[in-house]
Structure 1
Amino acid sequence: VKALHALGAAVIAVSRTNTDLVSLSEQCPGVEPVCVDLGDWEATERALGSLGPVDLLVNNAGVALLQPFLEVTKEACDTSFNVNLRAVIQVSQIVARGLIARGAPGSIVNISSQASQRAITNHSVYCSTKGAMDMLTKAMALELGPHKIRVNAVNPTVVMTLMGQANWSNPQKAKTMLDRIPLGKFAEVENVVDAILFLLSDRSGMTTGSTVPVDGGFLAT
C-alpha cells in the first residue's frame, strides 16, 4: 500500500484491524480504508461489492495457524482456507467482473509462499492453502487472459515483517531455514514489494499464470 501510494496510485486498503487502517491513513493521506474480515463472505460482499473502478489487485491477506498434523483442528482448516484461498476467489471475482464490464485490462497478484512447494513441519494446513493458491493463480490466468487480465503469484521465503520476526526470532529455528537458503538470509519487505510492483506494471505485460519466487534460492535446493 505504501509503495503504490508513493507512486501516485489511488489505493483502497482492506484490513480487519481498524487500528492498522487508522495508522495507515495517517501515514498515507488519501488511501481509502475498508475494515472487513475477508473470512466472512457476506460481509466482504457488502464492503467491497460497490467499490471501484479497480484496475490492480494485490491479494495479500493471510493467516498462518501452525499445528502438528495430528493436532490440526476443523477451526484451523476453515479459517485458513476461508482467508487464504476463498477470499482470494471472492475479491478477485469482484475486481475481474468490474474490469470486464468496463472492457479494461488489469493485473492481479496473489501473495503465495515458498510453502506452496515445500513441506514445512507444523505447516500442513498453511502449505495446503498456498499450494491451492498457486493452482488457483494458473486457473485464473487461463480464464481471465482472454479479457486481458493477468494473474500471477509471488512466493516469498520468510519475510522480516513483525509476524516474521515473531515466528523466526529463535536463532536455532531460524538456522534450520537459513541453511536451506543459498543467499543465507530472509527476505526484506522491499524485496517482495518490488516483485509485486513489477507484476502489476506493464513491464510484465507478457507474464501471466506464473509463480515468482522471492526466496533467496530456497526452492532451488
Structure 2
Amino acid sequence: MKTLPQTPKFDLTGKRALVTGASSGIGLGCAVALAEAGAHVVCAARRGDVLEKLVSAMTDKGFSAEALELDIADQPALSAAMKAQETFDVVLNAAGMARHAPALDATPEDFDAVMNVNVRAAYFLSVEAAQGMIAAGKGGSIIHISSQMGHVGGIERSVYCTSKHAVEGMVKAMAVEWGKAGIRINTICPTFVRTALTQPTFDNPERFAWIMDKIKLPRVAEVEDIMGAALFLASDASAMVTGTAMMVDGGWTAD
C-alpha cells in the first residue's frame, strides 16, 4: 500500500467559536476545550463579571478568548450581538434552564421560562449562526448541549424533558435544511454531570440511588467527560456527522 489514510484533524487553529453559557459548568469546560485546540473563543453568558475572570484565566494559559455579556433568551439582543461579530465557524450552546417539579405541580410560568431558554433561544441562536455561515459562503458546526432527558423520561422532569425532546427534533430538521450549505448541527446528551447546579440532586440519597441505578458505569459524569465530545463535533474529525445526538450518558439509554 503506497499511502495510508490519515486521521482527520482535531485542530481548531484559525477557527472562531462562540460558546454560550460559558460562565460555569459544561459551558466553561467546552470553552476551554475549544480554546485548547486553537480556536479563538467568544465566551458568552449573562454574568459579565464571571466571564471576565474566566477569560483572564484562559488568556493566562495562552488561549485566545474574549467575553461577551449576553442573555440569549433576549432575541433582539442575540440578533444584534451575532451580527456585530465576525462569522463563527463553531457555535456551541450550553445555556440552559431547569425547573424540576412533578408534572401536576408545574406552572405555566415554569413551562414558559424553561421553553424560552432551552428551545426558543436555542432555535434562534441556530438560525443566527447559520445565516452568518451561509452569508460568508462557508460551512460550520453548531452544537447544542441537550440531555439524555431528550431521549427518555425522568422523575419530576416533565417540563425539562419536553424542552430537550424539542431540541432533538429541531436539530434533525435543521440538519436536513442546512446540510447542502456545509453546516452541521448536532447535540451532546450528557447524563447527570457533577456541577454546582447538580450537587443538590447528588446530595439527595433517594435521587442519587435512582441515578446510579440508571447509569451503567460506576460513577456520574464530570465536566471533562463532555469536553472531548465537544471537540470532536467542533472539528473536522466529525465532518460526516450531522443531525444526530452524541450520548455521553454512561449507558443510561442503553436499555
Query: TM bucket by the smaller chain?
Result: over 0.9
Describe how 1:1-221 pairs up with structure 2 within 5 A.
1-29=31-59, 30-221=64-255
What amino acid is aligned across from residue 73 of structure 1 in structure 2?
T
Is the 1:59–1:88 contact (alpha carbons within 8 Å) kept by the matching residues of 2? Answer: yes
Partners of 2:109 and 2:179 in 1: CA distance: 35
Is the 1:41–1:87 contact (alpha carbons within 8 Å) kept by the matching residues of 2? Answer: yes
SS in 2 for 1:179: helix
Is the 1:54–1:98 contact (alpha carbons within 8 Å) kept by the matching residues of 2? Answer: yes
TM normalised by structure 1 equals: 0.95
SS in 1 for 2:214: coil
SS in 2 for 1:108: strand
Partners of 2:39 and 2:74 in 1: CA distance: 27
Is the 2:33–2:230 contact (alpha carbons within 8 Å) kept by the matching residues of 1? Answer: no
Partners of 2:200 and 2:52 in 1: CA distance: 23
Partners of 2:55 and 2:83 in 1: CA distance: 22
Moved more, 21-30 or 130-139: 21-30
Partners of 1:169 and 1:48 in 2: CA distance: 39
Is the 2:146–2:168 contact (alpha carbons within 8 Å) kept by the matching residues of 1? Answer: yes
1:68-93: CA deviations, max 9, x gaps?
21111121111111110111111111
TM normalised by structure 2 equals: 0.83
Partners of 1:13 and 1:162 in 2: CA distance: 19
Structure 2: stretches of 5+ with no match in the other structure? 1-30
Shift in Å at residue 169 of structure 1?
Answer: 2.3
- Pairs aligned (count): 221
1:111-162: CA deviations, max 9, x gaps?
1101111111111110000000011110111001010001111111001121
Partners of 1:93 and 1:100 in 2: CA distance: 10
Partners of 1:14 and 1:24 in 2: CA distance: 11
What amino acid is aligned across from residue 216 of structure 1 in structure 2?
G
Is the 1:39–1:79 contact (alpha carbons within 8 Å) kept by the matching residues of 2? Answer: no
Shift in Å at residue 34 of structure 1?
Answer: 1.2
CA 1:88–1:170: 2 relative to 1, 3 Å: same
1:18-71: CA deviations, max 9, x gaps?
232122122112422111222221222233332122110101100111122111
Task: Give aligned-pair identity as a percent.
Answer: 38
